[in-house]
Amino acid sequence: MDLRLVAVLLLVPVLDFLLLVGLVAFGPLTIVQGVLVVVVTSLVGLLLVRAEGRHTLRKIQRDVATGELPGDELLDGALILVAAGLFLTPGFLTDLFGLLLVLPPTRYPFRWATRTFVVTPYLDAKTGGFVSGTVYGGGAPRTEVELDEDDYRFGESDGVDGDDDDEGRRPGDAPQD
């Protein structure tokens, strides 16, 4: 696992804790109010996750029943699952980010970014570029053929044995007796 990812995963709870301590120590909240706000935002967020998850599941079932691929709905389901994990993690920052992921108007930019920067590059790497159409990423394949002097003889009729009794014949014609 990349060390930067580990650092971010460790840094987020520390920032959440520091924000909670700062609001309790220097802000308008007492300890009980701070804990209560964190618990209530988590519960409300999980209720939103439940409602949006059911709605997304119905859309997936509808698309499958009509024979369509539920690509956007599957990404929405994954983002809602991430939002549920963020709501289960106590803290203001994680709850705010979870709220951004669970609400449909703010989820659309995250879905676009996930498709553009995660899904498409992964599928391109697995399929050799067929997903995004960059199969020939370095340009079109070469069409020139390099021939040496020995590969092509000038002045001979068929270029094989040098006899000229085959004049007027095309390649693939039956030999004449």
Amino acid in position 15:
L
Q: Give the model's pLDDT for residue 124.
A: 85
Q: Record the pTM.
A: 0.70
Q: Give the model's pLDDT for residue 2.
A: 82
Q: Give the model's pLDDT for residue 104.
A: 94
DSSP class of 119: I
Q: Give the model's pLDDT for residue 155.
A: 60
Counting as low any pLDDT under 70, the low residues of the chain are 1, 135-145, 147, 151-177
Q: How far apart are CA 115 and CA 110, in angstroms?
A: 9
Which ranges constitute the DSSP H helices of 1-116? 3-26, 31-65, 71-88, 92-102, 104-114
Q: How far apart are CA 75 and CA 81, in angstroms?
A: 10
Q: Give the model's pLDDT for residue 76.
A: 96
What's the residue count for the chain? 177
Q: Give the model's pLDDT for residue 177.
A: 57
Q: Give the model's pLDDT for residue 9.
A: 84
Q: Give the model's pLDDT for residue 24.
A: 86
Q: Give the model's pLDDT for residue 83.
A: 96
Q: Give the model's pLDDT for residue 8.
A: 86
